[in-house]
Amino acid sequence: MSIPFWRNRDRYYRMLGSKCQKCGKEFFPSVLVCRSCHSTDVKDFEMPQSGKLLSYTLQKESISGFEDQEPMVFGLVELDNGVRVVAQIVDTPYEALKMGTKVRTVFRKVRTDGESGQIYYGYKFAPVRVTSH
């Protein structure tokens, strides 16, 4: 196994971003140069696994290769460190979502390569279950 393979694998199974060692800003996806202070002293940094939903949308139209997941919900999530990411929202009906819904990172099948049958995994978000009774 080559080192680059494991580095990439890491990025799929943990949300690895970057943290600037100079100004402390955190980024996802990872950056080579800090977008805030332009320092090149940035290190891999794992993103928090929870955040809240800022907005969301229901996608009914097919994206080739994703037909089995229709309809798909996509959301803009603000992680607990303030970093914003767009990702698929799973494990909940669209109607149950609200702005501000607490979500957590889950790692799920993203798609299956039609040619090779290889399955790709990536991060998605699911609502945090709140016990209200």
Q: Does 37 bind Zn ion (CB under 5 A)?
A: yes
In the complex, minimum distance from the CB of residue 83 to Zn ion, in angstroms, rounded to a whole number: 14
Single-letter amino acid code for the residue at 128: V
Give the burial class of 125: count Cβ atoms within 10 A of its Cβ; 0-12 exposed, 13-18 middle, 19 or more buried: buried
- Among left, alpha and beta (phi > 0; psi -120 to 50; other), residue 69 is alpha
Binding segment for Zn ion (CB under 5 A), chosen from 28-36, 63-71, 103-111, 120-128, is 28-36
Q: Does 36 bind Zn ion (CB under 5 A)?
A: yes
Alpha-carbon separation of residue 83 from 14, 35, 53, 57 (angstroms): 15, 13, 12, 19
Instruction: Return the residue of 22, 98, 109, 129 that touches Zn ion, per CB under 5 A.
Output: 22
Residue among 39 and 57 whose Cβ is closer to Zn ion: 39
* Contact positions vs Zn ion (CB under 5 A): 20, 22-23, 25, 34, 36-37, 39
